[in-house]
């Protein structure tokens, strides 16, 4: 019996603050599989195939069956407790068929659609981060006997998992976390194992929420690269089908196991029109011009006080964010003192304990903690990883209890501050 009373906080920011990445997140992220293992590589010379194929909506279960036949558990969107969340799927009937969402600052509602679209929503409170970078995991355990202390590392053998319904912004978020956990000379073995065992079925967005701004961050709504299969759902008056693109050899293999044919011009045009229309429906926008310099030169801007007066420092924004990665470590022991365990858990820079060192917290005020979060997300992240930490999914706006809007905060600082001196920056967002 483990009694979780002894706690030791150790903060971890994988990759280190001084590391940078020279490549852009939009580069081709190839997924190479072989019988022994699958490697993650970057290759700008290996774009997804330009061929487009079609399969009918009633064949979606055949796709799930093909994935399961290859040993994948299939995880995707489903309706639970008034929201669209990610969970294991038994069949296509578990998908949010006929459901959409309405989102604004601090507001999320499910709405019934007039059709039976399977992916007719934006994004919910969950992200794929929970499957690649689990919220809680044991690192090791130790037992003491009379003459020895035995430390047993945790065996991490994650199952093969197919992610069904990954949006463009979410795929960018996964690629950003790849930089955090796999690049710069340090590799997280747990993340690496889960990433190598993932098969990605992306979905081009046909619906934008009121809090979406992926177009501003150049992260959507169209999937670019890094997927195994990419679907565009087309719902017409007399027909319901998917236009599909294969992005890897594994994707082509799975596609080959379900009935499909080459898409004709009208079907390709219909799919492209859906994505173009979604791009015009963004509920928010963010001007990312010189954003790093803008935030670095406005540490004392009065807007930080204004937002701090509303911020509850609850950490919701960091929990729903698909790229936030900070963790704490807790050591626990049983009452006899003969057994101990070390657990890693998600943490948030909005808690006072996050920046605690001897003598107190480095950021004791909500003012300092919100400024740290937003400046790191939109500016310091570029110095660390060569890309913004924001993909424009809008979750931090929707799930903030008081509706704080990151796009509004950036605009408030920009409109009240002189334009900073231009720097030689190749990347102000996720370009």
Q: In the prediction, which pLDDT does 206 show? A: 96
C-alpha–C-alpha distance, residues 315 and 311, integer Å: 10
Return the DSSP state at 94.
Answer: G
CA distance 104 to 230: 28
- Nearest of 80, 390, 52, 85 to residue 243 by alpha carbon: 52
Judge whether residue 29 has pLDDT over 60. no
pLDDT tens profile 374-409: 999 999 999 999 999 999 999 999 999 999 999 999
Q: Are 148 and 293 in contact (CB under 8 A)?
A: no
Start-to-end Cα distance in the chain: 50
pLDDT tens digits, one per residue of 146-169: 888 999 999 888 999 999 999 999
| 3-class secondary-structure state, position 189 | helix
Q: Map out the domains of the chain as residue ranges.
A: 29-279
Q: Over 70: is that where the pLDDT of 254 sits?
A: yes
Q: What's the Cα-to-Cα distance from 204 to each of 133, 207, 285, 347, 373, rounded to whole Å?
A: 24, 9, 19, 31, 29
Q: Where are the alpha helices (DSSP H) in 21-82?
A: 60-69
Contact 30, 196 (CB under 8 A): no
Average pLDDT of span 14-30:
30
Q: Could you tell me the CA-to-CA distances from 307 to 311, 312, 393, 406, 423 in Å, in that order?
A: 6, 10, 21, 10, 28
Q: What does the alpha-carbon distance between residue 327 and residue 348 come to, in Å, rounded to a whole number?
A: 7
DSSP 3-state of 266: helix
- CA 16 to each of CA 172, 184, 186, 262, 385: distance values in angstroms, whole numbers, following the listed order: 21, 8, 9, 47, 10
């Amino acid at each position: 019996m483990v009694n979780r009373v002894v706690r030791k906080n150790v903060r971890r920011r994988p990759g280190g603050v001084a590391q940078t990445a020279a490549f852009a997140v939009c580069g081709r992220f190839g997924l190479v599989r072989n019988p022994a293992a699958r490697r993650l590589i970057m290759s700008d010379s290996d774009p997804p195939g330009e061929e487009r194929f079609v399969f009918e909506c009633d064949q979606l279960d055949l796709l799930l069956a093909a994935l399961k036949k290859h040993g994948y558990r299939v995880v995707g969107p489903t309706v639970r407790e008034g929201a669209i969340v990610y969970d294991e799927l038994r069949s296509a009937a578990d998908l949010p068929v006929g459901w959409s969402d309405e989102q604004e600052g601090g507001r999320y509602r499910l709405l019934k659609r007039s059709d039976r679209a399977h992916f007719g929503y934006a994004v919910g409170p969950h992200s794929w981060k929970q499957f690649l970078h689990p919220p809680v995991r044991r690192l090791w355990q130790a037992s003491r006997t009379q003459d020895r202390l035995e430390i047993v590392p945790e065996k991490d053998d994650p199952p093969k998992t197919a992610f069904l319904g990954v949006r463009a912004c979410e795929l960018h978020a996964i690629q950003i976390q790849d930089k955090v956990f796999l690049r710069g000379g340090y590799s997280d073995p747990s993340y690496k194992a889960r990433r190598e065992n993932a098969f990605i079925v992306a979905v081009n967005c046909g619906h934008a929420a009121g809090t979406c701004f992926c177009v501003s961050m150049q992260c959507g709504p169209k999937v670019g690269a890094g997927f195994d299969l990419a679907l565009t759902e087309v719902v017409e008056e007399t027909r319901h089908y998917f236009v599909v693109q294969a992005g890897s050899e594994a994707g082509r293999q799975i596609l080959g196991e379900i009935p499909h044919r080459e898409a004709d011009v009208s079907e390709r045009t219909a799919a492209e029109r859906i994505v173009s229309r979604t791009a015009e429906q963004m509920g928010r926008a963010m001007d990312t011009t010189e954003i790093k310099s803008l935030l670095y030169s406005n540490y004392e801007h009065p807007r930080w006080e204004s937002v701090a007066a509303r911020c509850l420092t609850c950490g919701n924004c960091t929990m729903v964010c698909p790229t936030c990665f900070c963790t704490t470590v807790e050591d626990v022991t049983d009452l006899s003192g003969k057994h101990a365990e070390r657990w890693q858990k998600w943490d948030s820079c909005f808690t006072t304990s996050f920046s605690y060192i001897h003598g107190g917290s480095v950021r004791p005020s909500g003012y300092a903690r919100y400024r740290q979060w937003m400046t790191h997300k939109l500016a310091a992240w570029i110095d660390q990883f060569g890309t913004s930490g924001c993909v424009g999914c809008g979750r931090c706006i929707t799930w903030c209890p008081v509706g704080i809007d990151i796009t509004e905060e950036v605009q408030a600082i920009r409109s009240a501050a002189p334009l900073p001196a231009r720097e030689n920056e190749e990347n102000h967002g996720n370009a």
